[in-house]
Structure 1
Amino acid sequence: MRQILIYCLLSLPIMIMLGWFYFDKRKLKRKEARRAVLNAKPLAPEYLQILKTQYPLYSRLPEELQRKLVSHIQVFLDEKDIIGRGEFDVTDTVRVLIAAQACTLLLNRPGNYYPGFRTILVYPDTYVASSTQHDGLLQVTSTSTRAGESWHRGPIVLAWEHVLQGALDSRDGHNVVMHEFAHKLDEENAAMDGLPLLPTAEQYQQWSQVLSAEFAVQQRKLANGDDDVIDSYGATSPAEFFAVVTETFFEKPQQLQRHHPKLYEQFKQCYLLNPLEWRELNQS
């Protein structure tokens, strides 16, 4: 009897682990099945009209990528909660334009629809955020106005005025939604360090070499006050560099490829896309 009891006690953790594994596997299968249904579902006509009239980048996409974007939007809107702050009313236009810009980054990337968080908070305009820094025993709290931010393993915060501007103008190199969701791609490997998950293991060494060299160039240009197609904010950290170049890659591909061909090639491999092939670029 004692041996049986010991055996049962030793087996209990294994049984619990197996139970959780079985539960997780079933949960994953249900999620995959629901996503398959949503992927095949046609987008509501009023949602499609929002894409056509207020997100010009959608019309530049090849038809295959348009279909992928529509499919991704369906899943995104099902799995993310978009909540208004400061008495802001979240309309269909708000939901569709946030989803469309976020899902543009996922068009060809194998991924999981930005796992690890669910909530997107939207303010009507730039908002005031506070941050606290510690220097020994000294604690310094400061405030700043922001257009967006991404909390590690937490929500994304966006200012609607900047979301709408980013959607309507797909050629100015600035897109707050793409920027903040690039941070979410960055943190999928547990650290927000400018190194997202890449499609193949062979890419990591070259990615590290190219981005380290290009980041150093941007830091020198920032110190010297030199202009570049890449916004100077990208020189503040590797994480911001990845997010800023993501904006540039999708919105100013010709200029990025012309001035930073090696960097453009790395981002083309990262996103498995080539925006230079899309319609109606006509960028200077």
Structure 2
Amino acid sequence: MVHFQFSIDIIYPHTIIKEEKGYLKEKILISGEAVKDIVILSWNEIKRDLKTLKRNIIIHEFAHILDFEDGIADGIPPMDEKMRNEWKKTILEKYKELNHSHHIFIDSYALTNEAEFFAVISEYFFMQPKKLKLHYPIIYDELKKFYKIDTIKLI
């Protein structure tokens, strides 16, 4: 059994301006961020999500924390080998398929990379489970096995 340990270090009142260091300094706006065991959130983004009940930055960033548990953000959170193989066949294949498709109800940010895909589909699993199951039942079923909860029954 995997033991998850994390901390919320900062909740900013507004959207966060993050400065990327490098040859050219770049400022980007972020609504939240998760790195290893640290979560940074924007209170404005949390409130926005609570009003719409469609997306959820808290779920998104904590999904990243789960994904980081094995030391790499690859869209595959810690799980046993059998489940990991099934995950690769279903979730990661669906990610690749959707990257070549224009018919998607899932936010296009999910297609940035496998780690973002896992975080975004986790949001849908908890926030819009009926819609996720209707359009992508295989994704819903894999997340149900991973999270060990049937979120449709919670509605």
- Same fold per TM (> 0.5)? yes
Q: Is contact 1:166-1:177 (8 Å) kept?
A: no
- How far has the Cα of 1:130 moved from its partner? 1.2
Q: Provide, for residues 54-102 of structure 1, a one-character-per-residue CA deviation record: whole Å limited to 9, x for no partner.
A: xxxxxxxxxxxxxxxxxxxxxxxxxxxxxxxxxxxxxxxxxxxxxxxxx
How is 1:177-256 mapped onto 2 (pairs within 5 angstroms)?
177-198=58-79, 200-221=80-101, 226-256=102-132
* Structure 1 letter corresponding to 2:28: S
Distance across 2 between alignment mates of 1:148 and 1:165: 13
**Alignment check: 8 A CA contact 1:248 1:256 kept:** yes
Which residue is equivalent to 1:22?
none
Query: Offset of 1:193 from its aligned partner?
Result: 0.9
Cα RMSD for the two superposed structures: 1.8
Q: Post-superposition shift, 1:158?
A: 0.7
Select the structure that is richer in helix: 1
Q: CA deviation at 1:182?
A: 0.4
Inter-CA distance 207–145: structure 2 relative to 1 (3 Å threshold) = same
Q: Distance in 1 between matches of 2:103 and 2:11?
A: 32
Instruction: Show the counterpart of 1:278.
Output: 154
1:176 Cα deviation from its structure 2 partner: 0.4
* Partner residue in 2 for 1:79: none
- Asked whether the 8 Å contact 2:36–2:69 carries over to 1, the reply is no
1:175 paired to 2:56: yes
Report deviation, 1:190. Answer: 1.1
Counterpart position of 1:126: 15
Q: What SS does the aligned partner of 2:27 have?
A: strand
The structure whose RCO (Cα within 8 Å, separation 6+) is larger is 2
Q: In the aligned structure 2, how far is the partner of 1:235 from the partner of 1:211?
A: 12
| TM-score (norm. length: structure 2) | 0.90
Tell me the distance in 1 between the aligned counterparts of 2:41 and 2:50.
13
> What's the offset of the Cα at 1:227?
5.0
Q: Which residue of 2 aligns with 1:158?
A: 41
Give CA deviations for 1:159-210 in whole Å, capped at 9, x if unaligned: 101112333443x1x1001000100000111111111012x43211110111
In the superposition, relative to structure 1, how do residues 227 and 124 fare at CA in structure 2: closer, same or farther (>3 Å)?
farther
Count of aligned residue pairs for this structure pair: 155
Residues 1-284 of structure 1 correspond to what in structure 2 (within 5 A)?
111-112=2-3, 114-115=4-5, 117-132=6-21, 139-153=23-37, 155-170=38-53, 172=54, 174-198=55-79, 200-221=80-101, 226-279=102-155
Contact 2:2 2:78 in 1 (8 A): no
Q: Tell me the amino acid that sits aligned with residue 144 of structure 2.
A: K
- The amino acid of 1:147's aligned partner reads S
- The runs of 5 or more residues in structure 2 that have no matched partner are none
